[in-house]
Amino acid sequence: MLNTKEIGHKICEARKKLSISQAHLSEHLFISPQAVGKWERGESLPDIITFIRLAEILDVDLNYFSESILPTGMAIASGNSLVKLSAYLPYGKQDKRLSWDMSRGNWLDADFSGLKNLHEKFSSSNLQRCLFIGSDLSGLLLKSNHVDRCNFSGSDISCSHIQNSNLVNDIFKDCSLKETEFSESNINGCDFSGACFTGATFKSGTFLKSTLTDAVWNRTTFIGMAIDDIVFDGILDNCYFENCAFTRVTFRNSTLINTFFKGKNLKRIRFVECRVDKLTYAFLKSGKVDLSGITLLTQ
């Protein structure tokens, strides 16, 4: 049984030792000063994730508050510039003992690398400069998220749903985005080098100024997308572009096979040293595309 009065006293004592006001502490935790006051009066307790952040800010070990706030055997490191949660967030059997949810929060400069089984736990959150390197994020749901300058390199984000979200200057190098759906989302300035988009779907959003070097495009669908300042390279196999708005879009050194184009502004697409099969050629020709940079593949 947790002694809320005792923990509240310890929070207050550590805060005053560092000459930090309740208002200043609340700003770093993205909560109200009233919430800090309730903790210190023993009227409520932080959740486990806030305890971890609190320990870092106050430069104490979690055991300073109470050995019972975490499952037995979990080690905590404090005093780091980044909070590395992968070492101590509960999952597997521990999920039954302690529930955690990071949705509807503000997360800045945090290291979540190696996490798994997130699903909806970051939905509706503001994420800035966070690390998710090498994580298993399959089945992730991001809904109404703002994700800015985060690094997802080498992560599995397959079979995920990204809805009504903003992805800005994020890194997705060598990520698996198989069967992932992006709907009504804005993607701007992201690096998808080496990413796999097999079976991925993009609907009713924007795709701007992003790097796609060596990305894999197989059964990838774009419907009603605004695609600006984008260069496609490599092989596009059984891909689909319908009613997309193209601005400064280039296919360079690409091979297009069974790739469907439908829309009114295909003339804005530029093809440089590309190879296409007869079916794709027919779609492009009917859209009055400049075919001078295209070579027809031989059977």
**Same domain membership, residue 28 and residue 157:** no
Beta strand 201-203 with 217-218 is unpaired
**Same domain membership, residue 184 and residue 91:** yes
Q: Which helix (H) or strand (E) holds 86?
A: none
User: Do 193 and 211 contact (CB within 8 A), yes or no?
Assistant: yes
pTM as predicted: 0.69
**Same domain membership, residue 141 and residue 129:** yes
CATH number, domain containing residue 106? 2.160.20
Instruction: Kindly give, in sequence order, each residue whose CB lies less than 8 Å from that of residue 298, ignoring residues fewer than 6 positions away.
Output: none
Specify burial of residue 19 (Cβ count, 10 A radius: 0-12, 13-18, 19+): exposed
**Same domain membership, residue 138 and residue 69:** no
**Same domain membership, residue 85 and residue 61:** no
**Same domain membership, residue 33 and residue 96:** no
Cα of 263 vs its chain's centroid, Å: 30
User: Do 196 and 219 contact (CB within 8 A), yes or no?
Assistant: no
Token pair of 283 as six digits = 């779609």
The residue among 80, 104, 138 that closes a domain is 80
- Our count of domains for the chain comes to 2
CATH number, domain containing residue 15? 1.10.260.40
Q: Which domain holds residue 24?
A: 1-80
The tens-digit pLDDT sequence of the chain (299 residues) is 457 888 888 899 998 988 888 888 888 777 888 889 999 998 888 876 677 778 878 888 766 775 444 443 333 333 333 333 333 343 333 333 334 567 777 888 888 888 777 777 788 888 999 999 999 999 999 999 999 999 999 999 999 999 999 999 999 999 999 999 999 999 999 999 999 999 999 999 999 999 999 999 999 999 999 999 999 999 999 999 999 999 999 999 999 999 999 988 898 999 999 999 999 999 999 989 999 999 999 86
Looking at residue 188, its pLDDT comes to: 97
Quick count: other Cβ atoms within 10 Å of Cβ 172?
26
Separation of alpha carbons 155 and 151, rounded Å: 9
